[in-house]
């Protein structure tokens, strides 16, 4: 089943994001290579593709997991979580309709 993982950043998260990003991206590449990643990206803090020092306010990932517990376990092991990037993270089942 697909799951939406939505993380909301703590204030001033940019340095933490930058430090943990390579390991975070590697895990996303693993999901992609397994055919389990629908999309992933960050929410810029300002209306710009590259927000620069304004940073980001959170992230969105849509990926397949066998169940919610497996999705939560993936989140719990994420480098952004370990680095304290997120204030909170939600995991919700998702039923893709389009396209």
Cα-based distances in Å from 89 to 33, 42, 52, 62, 76: 24, 13, 23, 13, 9
Confidence at residue 45, expressed as pLDDT on a 0 to 100 scale: 97
pLDDT digits (tens, 9 = 90+) for 1-32: 999 999 999 999 999 999 999 999 999 999 99
CA 48/CA 34 separation, integer angstroms: 31
Q: What is the dihedral of CA 8, 69, 27, 86, to 10 degrees?
A: 20
Q: Which two tokens stand for residue 24?
A: 């975070």
Confidence at residue 23, expressed as pLDDT on a 0 to 100 scale: 98
pLDDT digits (tens, 9 = 90+) for 30-81: 999 999 999 999 999 999 999 999 999 999 999 999 999 999 999 999 999 9
pTM: 0.95
């Amino acid at each position: 089943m697909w799951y939406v993982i939505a993380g909301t950043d703590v204030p001033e998260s940019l340095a933490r994001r930058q430090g943990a990003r390579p390991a975070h991206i590697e895990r996303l590449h693993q999901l992609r290579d397994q055919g389990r990643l629908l999309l992933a990206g960050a929410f810029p803090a300002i209306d710009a593709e590259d927000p620069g020092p304004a940073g980001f306010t959170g992230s969105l990932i849509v990926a397949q997991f066998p169940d919610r517990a497996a999705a939560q376990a993936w989140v719990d092991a994420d480098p952004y979580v370990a680095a304290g990037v997120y204030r909170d993270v939600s995991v919700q089942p998702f039923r893709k309709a389009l396209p």
